[in-house]
């Protein structure tokens, strides 16, 4: 019968790992093909963040090196000194100085800070999960995360990079006609204006009490011809809006 060897973790390290477990379970397992490369990562105000950049260690050691993993001497394989991270929607791809690839996702932005996770491995073949936050400030992204390496080593991952400034994700306004209804006196006319959509507009009307000055453009003039009612319709980007017209 083979003898089973048990590895005992220090009590402090074990407690720290257990405290991180809920967050890591929520973030781990984010494969590249399951993340959304077409979506944008934004907060509730519509501010869009792109955390792509070349990440270096946040502090320099006496020998001039700057490691990403702390304590670096316990990381297996080639020690990491930089990692290039590229964000595409909510998908993350990484490449480090050891020649290893990483993949994961970023989500849940609040107060300019996003949660993220990356999966990869060291050059010694140990699987690694990096899970934590990316915080934006003054065109700098700062990573503060845990480093969980298969084999029992639990450490920290700290890095900073210069990144693009946030942009605003402004949803396009719905298609509208202004005014949405009008009464036109005999021999009178009224100007109608379209807004929203994709900026290209086509006009039509279903009644016979007036005529339009044009059938395209953002603005048209409706001229009274005879008494009756009419419905004015504008279409743009596959959507339509209507206005009611009464000709006195």
Q: Give residue-wise pLDDT tens across range 102-161.
A: 999 998 899 999 999 999 999 999 999 999 999 999 999 999 999 999 988 999 999 999
Q: How would residue 93 be classed by pLDDT, with cut points 50, 70 and 90? A: very high
What pTM, to 2 d.p., does this model score?
Answer: 0.57
52 lies in the same domain as 151: yes
Mean pLDDT computed over 84-92: 93
CA atoms within 13 A of residue 194's CA, in its CB half-sphere: 28
137 lies in the same domain as 226: no
Q: How many domains does the chain have?
A: 2
Domain that holds residue 61: 11-168
**Residue 5 covered by a domain:** no
- DSSP assignment of 154-216 equals EEEEEEEEE-PPPEE--PPPPPEEESSEEEE-TT-EEEEEEESTTS--EEEES-SSEEES-SB
161 lies in the same domain as 191: no
The position carrying tokens 């999960």 is 129
**Residue 3 covered by a domain:** no
**Residue 4 covered by a domain:** no
Q: What is the pLDDT of residue 214?
A: 92
69 lies in the same domain as 144: yes
Beta bridge pairs of residue 234:
203, 241
136 lies in the same domain as 24: yes
d(CA 71, CA 39): 36
**Residue 198 covered by a domain:** yes
Best CA proximity match to 28, nearest among 155, 150, 152, 132:
132
Of the residues 150, 168, 186, the one at which a domain ends:
168
* DSSP three-state, residue 33: helix
**How many other C-beta atoms lie within 10 A of the C-beta of residue 248?**
11
Phi, psi torsion values for 18, nearest 5 degrees: -65, -35
Q: What is the pLDDT of residue 27?
A: 40
Of the residues 109, 141, 168, the one at which a domain ends:
168
Q: What is the pLDDT of residue 169?
A: 62
129 lies in the same domain as 160: yes
d(CA 178, CA 219): 10
Question: Does residue 75 register a pLDDT over 90?
Answer: yes
* 174-230 tens-digit pLDDT: 889 999 888 999 999 999 999 888 889 999 998 889 999 999 999 999 999 999 999
73 lies in the same domain as 181: no
Burial 155-191 (b: 16+ CB within 10 A, else e): bebbbbbebeebeeeeeeeebebeeeebebeeeeebe
78 lies in the same domain as 25: yes
Of the residues 106, 134, 168, the one at which a domain ends:
168
């Amino acid at each position: 019968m083979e003898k089973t060897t048990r590895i005992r973790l220090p009590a402090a390290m074990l407690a720290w790992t257990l405290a991180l477990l809920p967050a890591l379970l929520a973030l781990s397992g984010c494969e590249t093909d399951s993340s959304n490369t077409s979506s944008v990562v934004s907060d509730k105000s519509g501010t869009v963040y792109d955390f792509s950049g070349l990440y270096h260690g946040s502090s320099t050691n006496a020998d001039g090196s700057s490691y990403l993993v702390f304590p670096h001497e316990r990381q297996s394989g080639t020690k990491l000194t930089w990692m290039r991270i590229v964000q595409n929607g909510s998908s993350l791809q990484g490449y480090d100085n050891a020649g290893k690839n990483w993949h994961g996702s970023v989500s849940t932005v609040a107060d300019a800070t996003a949660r993220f996770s990356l999966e990869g491995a060291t050059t010694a073949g140990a699987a690694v999960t990096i899970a934590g936050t990316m915080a934006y400030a003054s065109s700098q992204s700062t990573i503060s995360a845990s480093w969980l390496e298969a084999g029992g080593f639990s450490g920290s991952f700290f890095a900073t990079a210069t990144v693009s400034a946030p942009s605003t994700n402004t949803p396009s306004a719905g298609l509208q006609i202004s005014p949405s209804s009008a009464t036109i006196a005999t021999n009178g006319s009224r100007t109608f204006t379209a807004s929203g959509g994709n900026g290209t507009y086509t006009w039509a009307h279903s009644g016979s009490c007036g005529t339009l000055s044009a059938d395209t453009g953002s603005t048209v003039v409706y001229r009274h011809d005879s008494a009756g009612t009419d419905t004015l319709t504008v279409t743009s980007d596959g959507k339509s809006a209507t206005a009611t017209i009464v000709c006195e």
